[in-house]
Amino acid sequence: MDFANELRIATLAVHRASILTNSVQSTIQNKGNSLEKDEFGDPVTIADFASQAVIINAIHHYFPNDTFVGEEDESMLRDSPEILERVWVLIQDLKEDGDEVPRLESKEDVLRVIGLGGKVETGKGRVWMLDPIDGTKAFLSGTQYAVSLALIVDGEQKVGVLGCPNIKAGSSEVREELIDRDGLGVLLSAVKGQGSFQRSMSLDGLGEPKKMEMLKDVGSVNELRYVNSMASSYISRPVYLAVKKACRLKTDEEVDLWSMHVKYAALTIGGVDAMVRIPPKKSYHSYVWDHAGGQLIYQEIGGKLTDLDGGKFDFGVGRKLEKNWGLVAAPPSVHGKLLEVVKHVLAENPIPE
């Protein structure tokens, strides 16, 4: 199965959600970050719900038997008519050219499609996993965030799409402060076994897809350039820094990005080579929507990803990656050596349960 139609509709959905979320981010920035919750609702909450509704509506129209795992559920909206009203207004304001996807006709339609995102069983059949806004802290600050969508079939990633409205098309690196002021960023996509592609986004449509080059080999772990988010409470900073020290890096330069999917975009686009995520507790496991799609896009240009035990990521065990702890991403030429370094450091610096 080539998943061509799934990719087409997923691309359409993510593009529309990128336009919607970018409009909210622009509104926040135009008000000088002074947008109050009581005048717009919580802007991130409003954009999150609206983005999820737009995405699920498009996918469900074409694939009515598929299920969904989304970050949001409709219970808050049912309990808060004021927030629901603001979500509804935002969706109605979205310009949608063409008739490929019918518009949501009522607030009840919005509640219905958002409610479809509560799937728990992910191991069998076709499941779409989505994060309507990945990187909410960066979203509020006007920097890099992503809209992510992935199709999982029997626990494995088959299609991945990332909308990155602030990454400049044609850029060879990703930074929080390097914002696309002229367009609507880029859309990255992949189908398993078919490579990864990049397209420019605008309010009027999408540019032609360009196949992305395969990763180049890195000769040694001391040549790696890292991406992470050092302010995150989901990593053990001291142990991570011990890993970098053990690699005896030629340069200690690091790219700091808040959004998980933007990190995957950075690994794919270039300027960085590796990412190591060591949780602060052994009991911590990431949500699937923080990784589904972005991982596939990176793997399809030749990147290697495992957990800290060297295991493959399993998206078929529910809303969290319960079988996987931590992450090592790097070119295959050095992934094994980097994983050895990580394991050695962890043996000397055990993580608490």
Query: What's at 61, amino acid-wise?
Result: H
The reply, when asked if residue 290 is annotated as ligand binding, is yes
In sequence order, what DSSP letters do the residues of 36-89 get, joined into one string?
-HHHHS-HHHHHHHHHHHHHHHHHHHH-TT-EEEES--THHHHH-HHHHHHHHH
Give the model confidence (pLDDT) of 154-174 as tens digits.
Answer: 999 999 999 999 999 989 999
59-100 confidence digits (pLDDT tens)? 999 999 999 999 888 888 999 999 999 999 999 998 766 668
Give the long-range contacts of residues 335-341, CB within 8 A, separation 24 or more: 335/304, 335/306, 337/220, 337/221, 338/221, 338/224, 338/247, 338/274, 338/276, 339/306, 339/308, 339/310, 341/221, 341/243, 341/246, 341/247
- Spacing of C-alpha 194 from chain mean position: 20
Rounded to whole angstroms, how far apart are CA atoms 329 and 272? 11
For the segment 242-259, the average pLDDT, to the nearest whole number, is: 94
| CA-CA-CA-CA torsion sign (102, 196, 291, 144) | negative
| Greater pLDDT, 233 or 97 | 233
256 assigned to a ligand binding site: no
Binding residue per annotation — 66?
Answer: no
Structural domain 4-211, CATH architecture:
2-Layer Sandwich (3.30)
Residue 300 annotated in ligand binding: no
Q: What contacts 147, CB < 8 A, 6 or more positions away?
A: 14, 17, 18, 21, 51, 55, 131, 132, 133, 134, 162, 163, 165
The pLDDT assigned to 7 comes to: 98
DSSP letters of 90-119?
A: HHHHS---SSSSPPP-SHHHHHHHHHTTB-
Q: What is the pLDDT of residue 28?
A: 83
Position 98 scores a pLDDT of 63
> Beta strand pairing status for 327-330 and 156-164?
unpaired
Burial of 247 (0-12, 13-18, 19+ CB in 10 A): buried
Looking at the DSSP bridge assignments, the partners of residue 329 are 275, 305
Which of these ranges, 115-129, 136-150, 308-322, 329-343, has the smallest mean pLDDT? 115-129
The conformational region for residue 183 under phi > 0 = left, psi -120 to 50 = alpha, else beta, is: beta
Predicted pLDDT at 36: 45
Q: What angle do CA 108, 114, 120 make, to 5 degrees?
A: 135
The residue-averaged pLDDT of 117-136 equals 92
CA-based nearest residue to 297, from 222, 236, 230, 209: 209
Q: What angle do CA 115, 120, 122 make, to 5 degrees?
A: 120
**What pLDDT, on a 0 to 100 scale, did the predictor assign at position 288?**
97
Q: Which CATH code for domain 221-348?
A: 3.40.190.80
The model carries a pTM of 0.95
For a pLDDT cut of 70, what percent of the chain falls above it? 96
Query: One fold for both 4-211 and 221-348?
Result: no
Q: Is 6 marked within a binding site?
A: no
Averaged over 192-215, what is the pLDDT? 96
Lowest mean pLDDT among 64-68, 120-124, 152-156, 202-206: 120-124
Q: Is 317 exposed, middle or buried (0-12, 13-18, 19+ CB in 10 A)?
A: middle
Question: Which residues are marked as active site?
Answer: 48, 136
Q: At which residue do the structure tokens 């592609």 appear?
A: 197
Q: What whole-number distance in Å separates Cα of residue 175 and Cα of residue 228? A: 11
Burial (0-12, 13-18, 19+ Cβ within 10 Å), 4:
exposed
pLDDT in tens, 4-61: 999 999 999 999 999 999 999 988 887 655 444 444 457 888 999 999 999 999 999 9
> Which pLDDT score, from 0 to 100, does residue 97 have?
62
Q: Where are the domains of the chain?
A: 4-211, 221-348
The per-residue pLDDT of the chain, averaged, comes to: 93
Confidence at residue 38, expressed as pLDDT on a 0 to 100 scale: 42
